[in-house]
């Protein structure tokens, strides 16, 4: 099985599950972790495996990998999730989701 970790700002493939375990436990796969207020936190990270079920089920098809995930923790929805293929998309997505949450909070006040 192929796993993915961040090394020096780049996504690197590995077949060693211990390398992934280390990356996840030390936080090196984290892209962003933003506490918006007491209620909301936005976390984006390289998950370590492809989360796109289509590309997993049909590996010979040209489907994008979903390697990164942004989770919004808190609020009335509990958890909201967005997925991305590249580090650049994940970084931009993290900032975009943070701004959406800030706007949501401002509208509620």
pLDDT tens digits for 7-57? Answer: 999 999 999 999 999 998 998 999 999 999 999 999 999 999 988 876 666
| Average pLDDT of the residues of the chain | 90
Q: Is residue 35 part of a domain?
A: yes
Q: Residue 78 above 80 pLDDT? A: no
The residues pairing with 23 across neighbouring beta strands, listed in sequence order, are none
How distant is the alpha carbon of residue 90 from its chain centre?
6
Question: Does residue 25 sit within a domain?
Answer: no
- The parent domain of residue 62 ranges over 31-108
Q: Which residue has the tokens 């590249």?
A: 86
From the list 24, 99, 106, 104, the residue with the least C-alpha distance to 69 is 24
Q: What is the pLDDT of residue 1?
A: 86
How many independent structural domains does the chain possess? Answer: 1
Q: What is the model's pTM?
A: 0.86
- The answer to whether position 10 is within a domain reads no
CA 12, chain centre distance (Å): 15
């Amino acid at each position: 099985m192929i796993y993915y970790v961040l090394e020096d700002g780049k996504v690197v493939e590995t077949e060693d599950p211990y390398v992934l375990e280390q990356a996840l436990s030390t936080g090196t796969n984290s892209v962003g972790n933003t506490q918006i207020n007491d209620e909301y936190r936005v976390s984006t990270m390289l998950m370590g495996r492809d989360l796109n079920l289509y590309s997993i089920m049909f590996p010979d098809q040209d489907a994008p990998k979903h390697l990164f995930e942004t989770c919004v923790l808190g609020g009335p929805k509990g958890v909201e999730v967005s997925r991305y293929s590249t580090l650049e998309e994940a970084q931009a997505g993290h900032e975009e989701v943070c701004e959406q949450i800030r706007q949501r909070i401002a509208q509620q006040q």
